[in-house]
A and B are shown apart, each in its own frame.
Chain A
Amino acid sequence: MELTIDKLPAALVLRVAGEITIDNAQDLKEQAKSILDDMDQPLLIMDMERITFIDSSGIGFLIVLKARCEDKGKSLVLLRPSQQAAKILRLVQLDALFRIADSESQAMDPA
């Protein structure tokens, strides 16, 4: 799994390439926590286009990320979930819980 952090003026973008599973979700939660602690932007964009596989632990990571963002008064937008990620979000009926965007500019539009 590769994590890339893009610091834009209006948003911080987390880009994950590879898998988010039981094997690495805990590490990713800890990484994301320290990133969120240092974040000044009001918006966190989670780029999911290059996530090749995500399981229920990965979904747990997204839930924690959302809760941490809310605690800090930040918004979270999921960007371009891959087909497999979109399917599992629907399966566990969480697709309506998250704001999902098709492009970075759409993600940065206020809801």
Chain B
Amino acid sequence: MSIEYRFESVVRPGACRPAMQEIRAALARHLRDPQLLADLDLAITEAVANVVRHAYPQSGGEGPMRVLLRFHPGHSVELEFADQGRGLPAEVARRLHPGAAVPEPGAEGGRGLFILQSLADELDVGVRDGWNVISFRKNVEQGAWN
């Protein structure tokens, strides 16, 4: 059996972390490993930050976002982050693959998606029903579950 949570919210600059509070709470209900929870918290934050930075420039970064969280107890956690913004530029999407090069040390930004990729066991980028979707899967060993 899998368990699925769906969250719909409006994200805006300056309020990324509070917008994800319920997702963090759901993760903490199902998973007990603090390091895993910290990794997933980071993945969520980077995904939301990516939307706020890039998806909705015409409305100052504010716009709708959907997050789907699916638990396969004993096996894995899946997260899908969806927005209706302008989508990832092709050259950014191309950089998203396992073993992608780390951004230059002196660069101020450009690490968010690299981090998301690094934390995932599987990461996909696509478009579905007019929404840009980043799908993230993390395998989670038996002992890490509540």
Chain A interface (Cβ within 8 Å of chain B)? 19, 21-23, 53, 55-57, 59-60, 63-64, 67, 83-84, 87-88, 91-94, 97
Contacts and interface: CB of A to CB of B under 8 A. Distances in A.
Interface string B8-28: 000001111110000000000
Classify the secondary structure of A's interface with B.
Answer: helix
A87 B37 CA distance: 13
B41 interface: yes
Contacts, number: 67
Classify the secondary structure of B's interface with A.
Answer: helix
B38 A53 contact: yes
A19 B45 CA distance: 12
Interface residues of B, number: 29
Contacts of B108: 60, 63-64
B109 interface: yes
Contacts of B119: 91
B133 interface: no
Contact of A91 (B48, B49, B107, B115): B115
Contacts of A91: 115, 118-119
Given A67-B106, A92-B102, A60 B38 contact: no
